[in-house]
Amino acid sequence: MDENDQAPSELETLTLALLHSRGEVERLREREQLVSSLLAGLNAVLWAFDWEQQRVVYVSPAYEQIFGRSAALVLADYGEWLNSIYPDDMEYAAQSLQSVLEVGSVEHREYRIIRGDGEVRWLSDKCFISPPNLFGGQQLIVGIAEDITEKKALQNELHRLATSDVLTGASNRRHFFECADDLFAEARTHGRPLSFLLLDIDDFKKINDGHGHQMGDRVLQRVAHCAAYVLRRDDLFGRIGGEEFAAIFPNCDAEQARQVAERLQREVQRLQFSDEGENFGVTISQGITVLGGGDELDDLYNRADAAMYQAKRQGKDCIVLG
């Protein structure tokens, strides 16, 4: 070996090792800073949950922004996470999380949370079992939760526009009969009673001709509001054309349907309208029928329609059972 090619001393070797380690540390620190900045800019929460220990072991920086709660608290106590779930969605959120252990992943689940300031928000969550080569072999459920509140509101608005009558807010004709088909099939399958009602606003053409179409629109809206007030939660109500409305009463026999129709009739009779000093009221004619053996939905519609026109011939402002 040449004199100029002497092996490095122990001190030189240690110095080189330290410089190399320092370089590795710097590179790791840069990577951590890069990952942290990416996570901080991500409008979604990355999280990891130890199912066996029932403990949240990690949440990304967006947790505090989306949940409006302290990350330190949720890492210290899983109950903080549970407290953030909207009560009606608690069972679904817990069961769907547990199902990850059975199937390996859940690609899509939606539930509501209550932020620390009390605001309710919608989340979309994807979660899966961590690979065995990560986290020191510890099995964790990891996931990403995204705030979809605005997207949900847009979906609801599009659904409302597609299914509701723009003027009255009642179901539109297409949506009414789609839902009516389902209610009819359910009543048939389970042998339950079902009633069908049609109503028409009496002398509506005279209202439009004498007071204008804007007043006619107000009458339609107020009658629809009366129905929304009177009908039961599970009843279906819709505007099916012009001044004609329909209702379906599931689990309701003829007598019960007549009682609802009578309440609706009284509410409409109380309505008062004013146009250039002239006050006037409105009335409705109603026809009711009930599901019978061998009936199709069209049979119910046709009988209720015939009963409604019979009510017109009997002087209007009355109810006829067909």
Active-site annotation holds for 91: no
Number of C-beta neighbours around residue 176 at 10 A: 22
Is the pTM value of this prediction over 0.85?
A: no
Q: What is the mean pLDDT of residues 267-296?
A: 94
Query: Is residue 228 one of the residues assigned to a domain?
Result: yes
How many structural domains does the chain have?
A: 2
Position with higher pLDDT, 41 vs 279: 279
Mean pLDDT, residues 150-176? 91
pLDDT tier at 14, thresholds 50, 70, 90: low
Q: Range of 74's domain?
A: 39-154
Co-location of 136 and 195 in the same domain: no
Task: Indicate if 148 and 206 belong to the same structural domain.
Answer: no
More confident residue, 160 or 307: 307
Query: Does residue 136 have a pLDDT over 70?
Result: no
Kindly state whether residue 13 falls inside one of the protein's structural domains. no
CB neighbours of 61 closer than 8 A, spacing ≥ 6? 36, 39, 40, 71
Q: Does 286 lie in the same domain as 210? A: yes
**Which of the residue ranges 8-12, 87-91, 240-244, 280-284 would you say has the lowest mean pLDDT?**
8-12
Check residue 29 and give its pLDDT.
52
Encoding tokens for residue 321?
């059972």
Q: Checking DSSP bridges between strand 141-147 and strand 120-129, what pairing results, if any?
A: antiparallel
Q: Among 154, 189, 217, where does a domain finish?
A: 154
> Residue 89 is part of a domain; what is its CATH number?
3.30.450.20
Given a cut of 70, whether residue 15 has pLDDT beyond it is no
Instruction: Tell me which of 10, 12, 178, 243 is the catalytic residue.
Output: 243
Same domain, 298 and 269: yes
Looking at the predicted structure, is the pLDDT value of residue 7 above 80?
A: no
As a whole number, the mean pLDDT across the chain is 86
Radius of gyration, alpha carbons of the chain: 33
